Chain A
Amino acid sequence: MVQKLDYLKETPSQTAGPYVHIGLAPGAAGFDIYRQELGWDIAGPNAKGERIRVEGIVIDGTGNPVKDVLIETWQANADGVYAHPESEGEVEEGFRGWGRVITDFETGEWGFDTVKPGPVKARKSLGTGPLHPPAHAGDDWLGRGDEGHEDMAPHINLWIVARGINIGLNTRLYFDDEAEANAKDPVLNLIEWHNRRPTLIAKRSERDGKVVYRFDIRLQGEGETVFFDV
């Protein structure tokens, strides 16, 4: 026998269930209770950068839209800074970078308004662990201080929960008009199957003078979206 490690173990996940809206978007469940629901305004009024809309549906393994899904979004501002003390730089007042999005119960369509994020600092080198020290004094594990390495391409982090999903699914949304940056992105390049990378790239179009990116998520089967263990 050996000594017992005294770490606690993470609480196991459970499905959010079909009535997730009651807790996280009660207005959609059919009642008003809170002074202010959270997650409706991602960028705020003062955010710099290009205003965009993102839209899509989530499709299950039978090809049908999932109509009771909840998606949370997490993104940097146009300068590539997250609204978090561990991200270097400042964000505009009112920029939260986090959103909560639900599907239409009839059609399964969802969408949100935000600004297009800027490129974000990458890790210095993917594939090395803590036993491989940074190459230069002053570098840290995030690559801060390391000049000349590639940033991550602009992306929005997504987290998807629903009835039938036992643990939230993490994915990333990239932009099809950032082909050059996408080609160098260290996370996209980690996906060994080149033909799966396009599942993470949203398609740009314009509608009534407004920039719209389409991003459909396929949970299972042909064209299955890449999901990450983060």
Chain B
Amino acid sequence: MSQAEFYQRDRERHPAALTPDYKTSVMRSPRAALISLQQSVSEITGPVFGHNDIDPIDNDLIHNYAKDGESAIGERIILHGRVLDENGRPVPNTLVEAWQANAGGRYRHKKDSYLAPIDPNFGGCGRTMTDENGFYFFRTVKPGAYPWRNWVNNWRPAHIHFSLFGTSFSQRLITQCYFEGDPLIAKCPIVKTIPTQDGIDSLIAALDMNATVPLDSIAYKFDIVLRGRRSTLFENRLEGN
């Protein structure tokens, strides 16, 4: 059975473009409606990456920017999970990229001027490929909350940005992972761009005691769901197959 279009994106589950409490969205959101396309080969294909594109240490943020014998400062965590599609099938061999602030909430970026210091042994980015069953993991330090200029006293919850490809350009997704129990989640205008509580909950990684490394690292589990895909079952049936 051949594969056809991806399921229509549920735009009521994603944030709207215009979410005024997140102020920057006001002038960066289109006013006209999106034009809906039935997918062609331009949308059902997308870039293919291989293990040669990355290095094995790229998923270890504790060490991938540290000097020899040193490591990043902060709460050591393993962030792991699975990339699935809406049919519940694993998405194997897909590129997962992540970036984050350090344990004090400071980003290694020339535009970040927050007074919390840079950690000399922490870069803040990682990447990996899912395995044949869709599993991935990162080793990192838990990021700190940080202030941002939206309202005068807004603080982002601890979060890690995620970038996903899937197998087609129409599955391309960037999102953010939050952490179980963080009281800032409920106060954040960026979190609250998501219209449903169920959608918000799906971005909160759960503390996963079963995956900890005793005396070494705490673990959180963060599964990611990409768009599912229909098969051409109906067309075949109508053709008498």
Contact = CB atoms under 8 A, between A and B. Distances in A.
Do the two shown chains form a genuine complex with each other? Answer: yes
Given A166-B16, A228-B37, A26 B123 contact: yes
Given A14-B15, A230-B39, A105 B111 contact: yes
Contact of A29 (B11, B95, B109): B109
B42 A190 contact: no
Nearest to A133: B238
A74 B124 contact: no
Chain A interface size band reads 35 or more
Contacts of B14: 10, 12-13, 166-167
A156 to B, nearest CB: 9
Interface stretch (A107-115, A123-131, A175-183, A204-212): A123-131
**What is the interface of chain A mostly: helix, strand, loop, or mixed?**
loop
A230 to B, nearest CB: 5
A33 B9 CA distance: 35
Contacts, number: 280
A57 to B, nearest CB: 14
Contacts of B175: 11-14
A167 B41 contact: no
**What is the interface of chain B mostly: helix, strand, loop, or mixed?**
loop
Nearest to A143: B40
B115 interface: no
B173 interface: yes
Nearest to A64: B27
A61 B29 CA distance: 8
Interface stretch (B69-77, B179-187, B208-216, B223-231): B223-231
A163 interface: yes
Contact of B10 (A9, A66, A82, A219): A9
25 contacts: A7-B86, A10-B86, A12-B194, A13-B174, A13-B175, A14-B174, A14-B193, A15-B174, A76-B42, A82-B45, A84-B48, A86-B44, A98-B47, A127-B38, A131-B238, A141-B232, A141-B235, A163-B28, A164-B24, A166-B17, A166-B22, A170-B170, A219-B30, A220-B30, A230-B39
The 6 closest A-B pairs by CB, nearest first: A23-B99, A164-B24, A98-B47, A84-B45, A164-B28, A166-B15
Interface of A: 6-24, 26, 29-31, 33-36, 38, 60-62, 66, 68, 72, 74, 76, 82-87, 96-98, 105, 120-123, 126-127, 129-131, 133-134, 137, 140-142, 152, 155, 157, 159, 161-170, 172, 187, 190-191, 196, 219-221, 224-230
Given A66-B28, A83-B47, A123-B39, 7 more contacts: A11-B225, A19-B107, A34-B54, A36-B53, A83-B48, A96-B47, A130-B235
